[in-house]
Amino acid sequence: MIPFDTLVVDDVSRHFGRRRALSRVSFHAGRGTILGLLGPNGAGKSTLLAVLATLLRPSSGTVRYGGHDATARGASLRAAIGVLGHDLFLYPELTARENLEFFAGLYAVRDVRAAAQEALDQAGLADRADDGVAGFSRGMRQRLALERALIHRPRLLLLDEPFTGLDDASAAALGRRLLTLREGGAIVVLATHDLDIAERLLDRAIVLREGRLVETVDRPEALRSVYRSIMSRPDAASGFSRTDGA
């Protein structure tokens, strides 16, 4: 695993044929930061997460993880990245413990059994460790999948709509876990439509529209009204960017 404390996105574009999914996006994040990707459907959030995960190459521009880029150090960088998307990547026929031990083994975690037990404790699922995942609720599966993404202690965690389908208690538990990760120095990047929850978590919000970064807001407050104001501006698809705060 390559250690790094900064993530720098520099003028990144991604094209699919003639369609521009991302157009000249730039931002940065340091250790201990939760950064939110906001925007309507089709804004480019999931594409950007895939680029940050090294699953897609930018058509132009660069992403730097500390002093490294994915072109030269892809496999080693992926060992320092955790991803939780719409697909939770859990095997329903396996138990919670078996799932975690399997992924810990894939990442060559030194003590697979201990890592799985710690993850179960973090997820609040120690009492269900040997139950099949097929019988878990959405919230339980989401908590387990998050710990699956964290089993190798990544430097960068990427989340795509992690609060979708969760009840209030499960969403609050996930939020607390993300704050703990921030306190531990991780960089967390999450795409979300849940602005009320995001407001309580984010250090910075990146607003995308039609593949362009239209605004950067530091320490966002009253996020729902700020977001609506940004989206209603006539320049919201022009690539204009402004940072509020230091």
148, 100 in Cβ contact below 8 A? Answer: yes
Both tokens of 131, joined, read 């139950």
CA distance 60 to 112: 39
Domains of the chain, with CATH numbers? 6-80+154-244 (3.40.50.300), 92-153 (no CATH)
The side-by-side arrangement of strands in the sheet containing 6-16 is 19-30, 6-16, 60-65, 68-69
Confidence (pLDDT) at 72: 75
Alpha-helical regions (H) of the chain: 45-52, 70-78, 96-106, 112-123, 138-150, 168-183, 195-201, 223-232
Is 50 exceeded by the pLDDT of residue 239? no
On whether the CB atoms of residues 215 and 207 are closer than 8 A, the answer is yes
Instruction: Give every strand in the sheet of 243-244, ordered side by side.
Output: 81-84, 156-160, 187-191, 33-38, 204-209, 212-218, 243-244
Q: Is the dihedral of CA 62, 63, 64, 69 positive or negative?
A: negative
- Examine the pLDDT at 68 and tell me if it is beyond 60: yes
117/129 Cα distance (integer angstroms): 8
**Distances from the Cα of 22 to the Cα of 71, 81, 110, 233, angstroms:** 19, 21, 38, 20
Give the burial class of 24: count Cβ atoms within 10 A of its Cβ; 0-12 exposed, 13-18 middle, 19 or more buried. middle
> Does pLDDT of 20 surpass 90?
yes
pLDDT of residue 186: 97
Asked if pLDDT for residue 246 goes beyond 60, the answer is no
Q: What is the pLDDT of residue 243?
A: 41
Rounded CA gap, 37 and 202, in Å? 10
Percent of the chain with pLDDT over 70: 95
The answer to whether the beta carbons of residues 83 and 128 sit under 8 Å apart is no
pLDDT the model gives residue 118: 97
Of 210, 193, 232, 238, nearest in space to 36 by CA: 193
Residues near 240 by Cβ (< 8 Å), separated by ≥ 6?
Answer: 214, 215
Instruction: Return the pLDDT at 183.
Output: 96
Q: Which residues contact 108 (CB under 8 A, 6 or more apart)?
A: none
pLDDT at res. 141: 95
- The predicted pLDDT at position 3 comes to 84
Mean pLDDT of 217-223: 88
Task: Look at 86 and 75; give whichever has higher pLDDT.
Answer: 86
Q: Is the pTM of this model over 0.75?
A: yes
Asked if residue 104 lies in contact with residue 112, where contact means CB atoms within 8 angstroms, the answer is yes
Whole-number Å distance between alpha carbons of 133 and 182: 28
SS3 53: coil
Helix axes 112-123, 138-150, angle to 10 degrees: 140
